[in-house]
Amino acid sequence: MHVPGRRLSRGLSIARQVLVLQLLVVLVLVLVSLGLAALDARANARGAATQRAVSVARAVADSPDVRRALATTDPSRRIQPFAEEVRRDADVDFVVVMALDRTRYSHPTPENIGKPFVGDLGDAPEGGVFTQQYTGTLGPSMRAVVPVTDDDGRVRALVSVGITITAIDDALTRDLVTIGVAALAVLAVGALGAWLLARRLRRQTHGLGEAEMTRMYEYYSAVLHAVREGLLLLDGEGRVQLVNDEARRLLDLPDDVLGRDLADLDLPPGLVAAARGGHRESDDLYLAGDRMLLVSSAPASWEGREVGSVVTLRDHTELRSVTGELDVVRGLTESLRSQSHEAANRLHTVVSLVETGHTEEAIDFATEELQVARLMTDRLVGAVGDPVLAALLLGKNADAAERGAELVVEGELSDPEALGLTPRDLVTLLGNLVDNALDAVAGQPTRRVRVRLSEGADGASIAVGDSGPGLSASDADTVLARGWTAKAEPGSGRGLGLALVLQVARSHDGDLVVERSDLGGAELIVQVPRA
């Protein structure tokens, strides 16, 4: 079975839609992450600049050189070179040492020395540490103001250290470049992953769009559940992927069958083997429970690649039962022909004896044959209470005689109706069992077939044994296996007949047992409980 790959519409495939959606999601996530990282880096940069300004200001305020310079008449002469050296080494934009009245002792621009400090001092004159963002003579900056105290803890001067916003933003820009490169790398990896996923999805969906898949599912599901044949769709591993209502009914499948391995569903072994065989099977007959199923299987392929198999099932129970009965009737007709042929031979013998003048020998021969036939008829009619069954056994006896075999009937089955066995069931059971036994003894040195009939309070049994080669243990298990193929094995003579026998036995809550016969071959025993 080839699944067509033609596109049903021109919309975007699911794989492309997923690719576009994933790329958009990755892009949005990267952009949002980049923005958040920039904001966080900006806040961290300004916080780090403020902490650096505080550390540098404290270092200057604790310097003995600054304290000694404050005790001189011209503090700027010694403080200005020191403050500039610290500014350059600490990589800050200004280091200003001032008196408590804001008079500057140092400044990056020497012209501003002696002028008042511009900006807030906060609680620094009282001994605290004050930080703020402020726009001074050098522009906006993050600055810190700390006190300079003497040995007694009195505030003698103030130190202000600042880093301009421009310098902070320049450093932030360098950091953002690194963040941007990382974001591009993440975007590339995300796009690659989305492309790989879309590629895999495209292979799995065969490039179909969502409208196409929805339409295919709706149409296919409607068709599959509307057809009168059972249908199973299996994947490459033998798991059930789709099953319609008729297949559920014919195989008595559970509700959770989807996704389960076909071999785990207690189905006919032959059916499982045919479904998973990977090659085409047409109209093979299998027994599944009490149903005869006509099974066909074929591998399913897509663009030259096998994706599983398709199994169709048709219920042939009634048809095969009638066919089996027809075969039995044909056998009975053949038996009657054999009897007619044997009777003609005997009549010809009698006529020849009369013509040659041996009248007494002719009378004795005819009388003896009549007595033998009457005794056989009386014994069979007495052993079985059904005239159809008696006629069948008489015909099989003549058939056995023509084949050079001996048919022996033992026991009684006086009331088959009490067991729920109709004449139709009896013909199917005994006709097929005796035919199989006669086929088994063909070509054997000793050709004996024995029919044993017995009944009791619990039920009855019909056993047919033969002197043939018998069945091995594996063959016996195969015969009794649920779902044994109804196709005859080459040379075995055991095909559809045993499947029909097993079906009739199970329809009456009975069973078919295979044992070793004391005649040397196999003995098949049908056990039927009393209705």
pLDDT digits over 239-289, tens only? 888 788 888 888 888 888 888 888 788 777 767 777 776 666 676 767 676
Res 291: pLDDT: 72
Using CA atoms, how far residue 44 sits from 41, 155, 172, 489, 497, in Å, is: 5, 32, 9, 86, 90
Mean per-residue pLDDT of the chain: 75
Reported as a single tens digit per residue, the pLDDT across 309-334 is 888 888 776 665 565 556 556 656 66
Percent of the chain with pLDDT over 90: 1
| Model pTM above 0.85 | no
Q: Pseudo-torsion of CA 424, 426, 432, 438, nearest 10°?
A: -140
Label residue 9 by pLDDT band (50, 70, 90): very low
Q: What is the mean pLDDT of residues 202-207?
A: 66
End-to-end Cα, the chain, rounded Å: 48
Q: Kindly state the helix (H) or strand (E) to which residue 397 belongs, with its residue range.
A: helix 387-402
Res 67: pLDDT: 85
Give the full edge-to-edge strand order of the sheet including 281-288. 240-243, 230-235, 305-315, 291-302, 281-288
Tokens 């013998």 belong to which residue? 349
> Residues 383, 408: contact at Cβ < 8 Å?
no
Res 529: pLDDT: 86
3-class secondary-structure state, position 308: strand
Query: Which residues have CB under 8 Å from 159's CB, separation 6+?
Result: 57, 60, 61, 66, 95, 96, 97, 98, 145, 146, 147, 148
Using CA atoms, how far residue 317 sits from 286, 290, 396, in Å, is: 10, 8, 26
User: Is 490 a residue whose pLDDT tops 60?
Assistant: no
Res 457: pLDDT: 75
Label residue 391 by pLDDT band (50, 70, 90): confident
User: Is 473 a residue whose pLDDT tops 60?
Assistant: yes
Q: At what angle do helices 14-61 and 165-205 cross, to 10 degrees?
A: 160
Res 317: pLDDT: 67
Res 222: pLDDT: 74
Reported as a single tens digit per residue, the pLDDT across 400-433 is 877 888 888 887 777 777 677 777 777 778 888 8
Tokens 């963040």 belong to which residue? 179
Greater confidence (292 vs 310) lies with 310
Reported as a single tens digit per residue, the pLDDT across 440-467 is 888 888 888 888 888 877 888 888 989 8
Res 68: pLDDT: 86
Label residue 469 by pLDDT band (50, 70, 90): confident
Res 251: pLDDT: 81
Res 486: pLDDT: 40
Across 20-29, 130-139, 312-321, least confident range: 312-321
Res 374: pLDDT: 59
Across 61-75, 309-323, 499-513, least confident range: 309-323
Reported as a single tens digit per residue, the pLDDT across 337-384 is 666 666 667 677 767 777 777 777 767 666 765 555 555 565 555 556
3-class secondary-structure state, position 242: strand
3-class secondary-structure state, position 217: helix
Pick the most confident of 28-42, 258-272, 349-363, 516-530. Answer: 516-530
User: Is 134 a residue whose pLDDT tops 70?
Assistant: yes
Q: What gap in Å lies between CA 120 and CA 137, rounded to an integer?
A: 13
Q: What is the mean pLDDT of residues 484-492?
A: 40
Label residue 489 by pLDDT band (50, 70, 90): very low
Res 382: pLDDT: 55
User: Is 162 a residue whose pLDDT tops 80?
Assistant: yes
Res 480: pLDDT: 56
Label residue 4 by pLDDT band (50, 70, 90): very low
User: Is 128 a residue whose pLDDT tops 80?
Assistant: yes
> Residues 94, 142: contact at Cβ < 8 Å?
no
Res 332: pLDDT: 60
> Residues 42, 172: contact at Cβ < 8 Å?
yes
Res 22: pLDDT: 77
